[in-house]
């Protein structure tokens, strides 16, 4: 006869094996469900320096993108319904969650998600009941095969009454302890451990808003997976449902939307954060980045200034404050901000470069050179700093040092088109126009779509009197920018120098049709009309030029010349006087003005004008003739 203990041990072994099989099956199902989840492409990494990339302006293209987005959501919704009809709850849920991340307010998606979750629960319950029934059958079979023992009679115990208030206090105390532990872990950057403690805390107090808020924040910080993003949104919204005055859930939602490049929603959440917590420096910082990317530079400067005040030890906040101020032309604010960033981070290369650029643009070339060299001392391979150092040397007139820096750049990057362009400017300043032409040809071969390269090529061809090549280069620049006024003006200059006035007039009239407010085009057109003896039309162009700039000496001089040709001498004298009043060194105006005074018998005024002319221009081409007139006037006055 089989020993009862042997049979009992065998029964227990069978039960253990069956239980293990059950839990292994459940674990495999869980893994299979998770394996079908799709991940969201991570959003932009947290920026330490603002990226100067312009955001798309809100145009018709944005409306098209909204339509594409709506179509994409509808396609995912149809796919989710198909999976649901086929009983593929996990695949259906994955599509619905993608929809809700793109459109958290989609009512149809939320409703369908509830149906999927409920269906999944019912499916799990059915499977659990089936597994339990199988185990019950096995247990019953084993139990029936064992010899029956007389059950031992235990004395019946009466249940002790439960102190509900004491139990509630104990649960709240445990929840508070776990919350503090989780919050401390969150604050120290241990987000995975924080999640574990906060999840335990929420079991004891399911409706605690603070715990939900930190749980959402911890999931956001832990990683960028789809599941973590979903939980960050879910817990943050639950927290706000229980306490709408908490700033942290708004900040977490702002960061989620920011990462997904849903900037309008992110801005809204950051602003709500700051309404509830005006001392959140990081919210100002992140809001400023979005404002800068949207080219809202005044708003960005305001946000970064507040961030600096709240986070005085953050070098990136000071740098971005300087960047925003620099965009607005507020050089003093920008300079102070970059200085602060460098004090906080002595190897802040970008801050040195931008500080150098401010000094360069304001003519402080030595200070610019000093900052560029400091940038290179921390990063000797920084091409931007080296190019700008060459530019500063060139502006200072140290052409040899400038050439050395440009050549160093080309040693590191032989295909740097911008350096060839800068080198061409250096050659042009040295009067080496042929070398400038070759450098520009090299720049164009590397980047054939840059209008500046063709424009400067035309300038250098014009200086060596290769007018046909110059016109070809200017026309190529216009091909890439049909509104390139400088190119039109230079073509017209060549036509005027070549006495091709009809072509000059045609070119300039086209330029003005593209940009009626081009001062240079108006002046050039007026001069071309003077050459073709169309004096009244010339008068009209110079007057329109003066409407654009009432103090422009070339316009006053051109108008005076038109009046002179029209024999309106008094008006001509007035305009010549205005010419030298706006620019006393405008030499061409003096001789005709002196002659007009002579025709009107105003010898003293004429004498003063001619003497001033020779003082200002001792090498004047007709100096001897002017001197004879002066001598005659002085002799006449003495007689």
Task: pLDDT band for 60, please (50, 70, 90 cuts).
Answer: low
| 64 occurs within a structural domain | no
User: Does 33 or 472 have the greater pLDDT score?
Assistant: 472
DSSP assigned state of 534: -
* d(C-alpha 494, C-alpha 504), whole Å: 8
Query: What's the confidence (pLDDT) of residue 163?
Result: 76
Predicted confidence band of residue 216 (pLDDT cuts 50, 70, 90): very high
Going by pLDDT thresholds of 50, 70 and 90, the confidence category of residue 54 is very low
For residues 556-568, give the mean pLDDT. 96
- Helix crossing, 60-85 with 89-102: angle to 10°? 160
Mean pLDDT of 127-149: 71
Say yes or no to pLDDT of 374 above 80.
yes
pTM value? Answer: 0.62
Gyration radius from the chain CA atoms:
41
Over residues 26-42, the pLDDT tens digits come to 444 444 343 333 333 33
Per-residue pLDDT reduced to its tens digit, 259-307? 999 999 999 999 999 999 999 999 999 999 999 999 999 999 999 999 9
Shortest CA distance to 205 belongs to which of 179, 232, 230?
179
Average pLDDT over residues 134-156: 65
Residues 109-137 have a mean pLDDT of 81
Residue 28: predicted pLDDT: 44
Q: Is residue 108 part of a domain?
A: yes
Q: Is 503 part of a structural domain of the chain?
A: no
For residue 257, pLDDT over 60 is answered with: yes
| The pLDDT of residue 300 | 97
In sequence order, the 6+-apart residues with CB closer than 8 A to the CB of 500 are: none
- Confidence at 11, pLDDT banded by 50, 70, 90: very low
pLDDT in tens, 232-246: 999 999 999 999 999
pLDDT average, residue stretch 345-365: 96
* Mean pLDDT of the residues in the chain: 87
Containing domain of residue 82, as a range? 4-40+69-143
State yes or no: pLDDT of 2 exceeds 50: no
Residue 137 maps to a domain: yes
* Mean pLDDT confidence for 138-147: 64
What are the DSSP E strand ranges found in 413-502? none
Total structural domains in the chain?
A: 1
| Model pLDDT, residue 605 | 94
Q: Which DSSP string corresponds to 263-325? A: HHHHHHHHHHHHHH-TT-HHHHHHHHHHHHHTT-HHHHHHHHHHHHHH-TT-HHHHHHHHHHH
Give the integer Cα–Cα distance in Å for 591 and 560: 12
Under the banding of pLDDT at 50, 70 and 90, the label for residue 166 is confident
Residue 502 lies in a domain: no
Over pLDDT 70: what percentage of the chain?
Answer: 86
**Res 278: pLDDT:** 96
pLDDT at res. 32: 38
Cβ–Cβ < 8 Å for 478, 446: no
pLDDT tops 50 at residue 58? no
> Phi and psi (nearest 5°) for 532?
-95, 10
The residues, ordered by sequence, that sit 6+ positions from 98 with a Cβ below 8 Å of its Cβ are 38, 40, 76, 226
Instruction: Identify the residue with better confidence: 352 or 111.
Output: 352
The answer, yes or no, to whether residue 114 has pLDDT greater than 80, is: yes
Confidence bin at 347 (pLDDT 50/70/90): very high
Does any domain span residue 559? no
The percentage of the chain sitting over the pLDDT mark of 90, rounded to a whole number, equals 69
* Tokens describing residue 292: 């800068």
Task: List CB contacts of 203: < 8 A, sequence separation 6 or more.
Answer: none
pLDDT in the model for residue 272: 97
- When mean pLDDT is compared across 163-167, 434-438, 519-523, the lowest value belongs to 163-167
pLDDT digits (tens, 9 = 90+) for 414-459: 999 999 999 999 999 999 999 999 999 999 999 999 999 999 999 9
Higher confidence at residue 604 or residue 8? 604
Residue-level pLDDT at 49: 45
- Kindly tell me if the per-residue pLDDT of 593 is higher than 80: yes
Q: Please tell me the number of Cα atoms within 13 Å of 420 on its side-chain side.
A: 23
Q: What is the pLDDT of residue 378?
A: 97
- Inform me whether the pLDDT recorded for 157 exceeds 80: no
Looking at the predicted structure, is the pLDDT value of residue 101 above 70? yes
Does residue 90 lie within any of the structural domains? yes
pLDDT at 110: 84
Q: Is the pLDDT of residue 196 over 60?
A: yes
Q: According to the model, what pLDDT value does residue 139 have?
A: 65
Residue 110 domain flag: yes
């Amino acid at each position: 006869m089989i020993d009862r203990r042997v049979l009992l041990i065998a029964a227990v072994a069978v039960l253990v094996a069956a239980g293990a099989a059950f839990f292994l099956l459940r674990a495999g199902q869980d893994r299979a469900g998770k394996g079908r989840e799709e991940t969201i492409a991570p959003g932009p990494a947290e920026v330490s320096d603002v990226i100067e990339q312009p955001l798309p302006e809100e145009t018709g293209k944005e409306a098209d993108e909204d339509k594409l987005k709506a179509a994409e959501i509808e396609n995912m919704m149809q796919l989710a319904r198909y999976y649901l009809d086929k009983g593929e709850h996990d695949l259906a849920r994955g599509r619905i969650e993608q929809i809700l991340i793109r459109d958290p307010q989609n009512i149809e998606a939320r409703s369908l998600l509830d149906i999927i979750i409920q269906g999944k629960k019912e499916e799990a319950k059915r499977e659990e009941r089936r597994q339990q029934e199988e185990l019950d059958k096995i247990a019953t079979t084993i139990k029936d095969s064992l010899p029956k023992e007389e059950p031992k009679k235990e004395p019946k115990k009466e249940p002790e009454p439960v102190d509900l208030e004491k139990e509630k206090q104990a649960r709240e105390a445990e929840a508070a302890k776990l919350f503090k532990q989780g919050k401390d872990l969150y604050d120290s950057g241990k987000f995975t451990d924080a999640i574990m403690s906060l999840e335990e805390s929420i079991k004891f107090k399911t409706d605690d808003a603070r715990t939900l808020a930190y749980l959402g924040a911890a999931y956001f910080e832990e990683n960028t997976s789809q599941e973590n993003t979903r939980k960050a949104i879910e817990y943050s919204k639950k927290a706000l449902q229980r306490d709408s005055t908490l700033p942290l859930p708004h900040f977490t939602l702002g960061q989620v939307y920011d990462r997904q490049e849903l900037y309008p929603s992110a801005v809204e959440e950051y602003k709500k954060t700051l309404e509830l917590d005006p001392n959140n420096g990081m919210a100002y910082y992140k809001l400023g980045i979005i404002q800068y990317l949207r080219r809202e530079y005044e708003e960005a400067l305001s946000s970064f200034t507040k961030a600096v005040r709240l986070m005085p030890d953050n070098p990136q906040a000071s740098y971005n404050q300087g960047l925003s101020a620099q965009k607005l032309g507020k050089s003093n604010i920008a300079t102070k901000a970059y200085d602060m960033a460098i004090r906080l981070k002595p190897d802040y290369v970008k801050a040195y470069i931008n500080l150098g650029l401010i000094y360069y643009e304001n003519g402080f070339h030595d200070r610019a050179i000093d900052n560029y060299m400091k940038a290179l001392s921390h990063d000797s391979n920084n091409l931007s700093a080296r190019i700008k150092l060459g530019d500063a040397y060139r502006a200072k007139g140290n052409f040899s040092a400038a050439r050395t820096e440009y050549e160093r750049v080309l040693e590191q990057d032989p295909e740097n088109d911008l350096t060839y362009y800068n080198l061409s400017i250096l050659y042009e300043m040295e009067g080496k126009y042929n070398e400038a032409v070759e450098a520009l040809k090299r720049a164009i071969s590397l980047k054939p779509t840059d209008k500046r390269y063709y424009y400067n090529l035309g300038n250098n061809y014009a200086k060596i009197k290769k007018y046909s090549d110059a016109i070809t280069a200017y026309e190529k620049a216009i091909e890439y920018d049909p509104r390139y006024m400088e190119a039109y003006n230079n073509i017209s200059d060549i036509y005027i120098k070549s006495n091709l006035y009809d072509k000059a007039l045609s070119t300039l009239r086209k330029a003005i049709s593209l940009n009626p407010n081009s001062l240079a085009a108006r002046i050039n057109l007026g001069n071309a009309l003077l050459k073709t003896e169309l004096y009244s039309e010339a008068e009209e162009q110079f007057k329109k030029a003066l409407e654009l700039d009432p103090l422009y000496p070339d316009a006053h001089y051109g108008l005076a010349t038109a009046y002179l040709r029209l024999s309106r001498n008094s008006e001509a004298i007035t305009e010549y006087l205005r010419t030298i009043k706006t620019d006393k060194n405008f030499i061409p105006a003096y001789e005709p003005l002196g002659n007009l005074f002579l025709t009107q018998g105003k010898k003293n005024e004429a004498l003063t004008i001619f003497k001033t002319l020779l003082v200002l221009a001792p090498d004047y081409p007709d100096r001897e003739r002017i001197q004879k007139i002066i001598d005659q006037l002085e002799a006449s006055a003495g007689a």
